[in-house]
Amino acid sequence: MKLARPLVVLFLLAALAAPSLADSPAIGAAAPNFQLTTIDGKPFSLADAEKSNKAVVLMFIATKCPVSNAYNDRMRDIANEYAKKGILFVGINSNKTESESEVKDHAREHGFAFTLVKDPGNKVADLYDAQHTPEIFIVAPDGKLVYHGRIDENQEQPTKVASPDLKNALNQILAGQPVAKAETKAFGCSIKRV
Amino acid sequence: MLLTSAAALGAEATKLAGDVDAKGLADAVAKNKGKVVVVNFWATWCVPCREEFPDLVRLEKAYRDRSVAVLGVSIDFQKDLPKVEKFLADHHPDFPNYIKRSGGDDQDFIDAVDPKWGGELPFTVVYGKDGRKAKVLSGKQTYADFEKAVAAALKEKLP
């Protein structure tokens, strides 16, 4: 026991010294539950959604961010393709600068058929420590986080994507395999928090 | 004649210092060893980046004689070079600005700059005089935030 205390102190010091940047739930950790109302006025609960789908894809997106907008067609197509396979897609708009009516108009304009929620006070973005748009989290039916990162590596040229990371992760989940590349990164617009 | 000179001067201020990959950027930081180096990552499509940029221009002017250097790195696509040049022409930074070299996987660049960086912009890294990372600043900062980080790296009290 005498040895344990200095170790605990060292651990705490190390934790304090760590940069206070992205502090999202780790891969394999429980994805924080949340409840919001969709832009269609329906209740949404992550815990309920986990139970009735093969995975839930949370997508922090924006209406005005050019990087997020570069992915509008890809998000629509991937969501349509994988919805048929039992995956639920939820677009989350946490930007204080973008209103619910803008989110509705944007969804209509781009043909989004997936669930969309407005995140007042960026509470869900804070739960996940989501930093930018687009940023993706995949939650498995057991409530654990299995992927965090980008849609793919090529923002600029959708026809030249070499690393379709979101689709790869979904294919592996559907095949009952662990996600090989569970954390990826890309540039994006910072989420405009309150 | 006067007009031509002014136009020429304007054109000079819009020039990028070149494109950089992670190694090129590390070399540019290393060349400033002995100074506190503030590296700011921005893009013309990033509204908070555009908003904070004038504070970096001001910071560089205020601290250039106190061993502080500022470097800018645009994350814009190559196709948006004219927008980048116009942005620089509008703001006239007295510090070099690079553009991230196109190609490769952005994740490698992001991780090389800072493993805790998720890729959000703007993003700023302050290096101490010894060339080591002193502070990382995620998201839009105020002039006071920049000054605080620089003063801490210089181990100075704020004026």
Look at residue A1 and tell me if it is in a domain: no
Is A153 within 8 Å of B45 when comparing Cβ atoms?
no
Q: What pLDDT is stored for residue B6 in this prediction?
A: 39
- Residue A156 touches partner B, C-beta closer than 8 Å: yes
Residue B104: per-residue pLDDT: 83
Tell me whether the omega of the peptide bond preceding residue A120 falls within 30 degrees of 0, making it cis: no
Joined tokens for residue B9: 């001067």
Which residues of chain B make contact with A98, given a CB cutoff of 8 A?
none
Please report whether residue A86 resides in a domain.
yes
Residue A21 lies in a domain: no
CB pairs < 8 Å spanning A and B: 75
B14 to chain A, any CB pair closer than 8 A? The answer is no
Q: What's the distance, CA A147 to chain centroid?
A: 8
Q: Could you tell me if residue A23 is inside a domain?
A: no
Indicate which CATH number applies to the domain containing A50: 3.40.30.10
Is the pLDDT at A9 greater than 60, yes or no? no
End-to-end CA distance of chain B: 44
A126 touching B, CB under 8 A? no
CATH number at residue B100: 3.40.30.10
Expressed as residue numbers, the domain containing A185 is 29-190
Q: In angstroms, what separates the C-alpha of A1 from chain B's closest C-alpha?
A: 34
Answer whether B56's CB lies under 8 Å from B146's CB.
yes
Q: Taking residues B91-109, what's their average pLDDT?
A: 94
**Would you say residue B61 lies in a domain?**
yes
Residue B158 pLDDT level (bands cut at 50, 70, 90): low
Chain B residues touching A94 at Cβ < 8 A: none
Number of structural domains (chain B) is 1
- The answer to whether A130 and A25 have CB atoms below 8 angstroms apart is no
- Provide the number of structural domains found in chain A: 1
pLDDT in tens, B19-69: 999 999 999 999 999 999 999 999 999 999 999 999 999 999 999 999 999
**What is the Cα A22 distance to its own chain's centre?**
13
Asked if pLDDT for residue B101 goes beyond 50, the answer is: yes
Residue B159 domain-assigned (yes or no): no
Give domain status of residue A151, yes or no. Answer: yes
| Single pTM value for the model | 0.85
The verdict on residue A19 lying in a domain is no
Q: How confident is the model at residue A7 (pLDDT cuts 50, 70, 90)?
A: very low
DSSP A61: -
pLDDT confidence band for A21 (50 / 70 / 90): low
Query: Looking at beta carbons, which residues of chain A come within 8 Å of B136?
Result: 19, 21
HSE-CB at A131 with a 13 A cutoff on CA atoms is 25
The predicted model gives A135-163 an average pLDDT of 96
Tokens of A34: 């949340």
pLDDT tier, B155 (very low <50, low <70, confident <90, very high otherwise):
confident
Mutate to test the interface with A, among B49, B81, B107, B133 (most CBs of A within 10 A): B107
How far apart (Å, rounded) are the C-alpha atoms in residues A180 and B20? 30
- Tell me if A14 is assigned to some domain: no
Tokens representing A186? 């890309």
Residues 6+ positions from A133 with CB-CB distance below 8 Å: A60, A61, A62, A65, A67, A68, A95, A188, A189, A191
Range from A88-92, A152-156, B146-150 carrying the lowest mean pLDDT? A152-156
Q: Does B35 reside within a domain? A: yes
Range of the domain at B134: 2-154
Contact B36, B69 (CB under 8 A): yes
Q: A171 in a domain, yes or no? A: yes
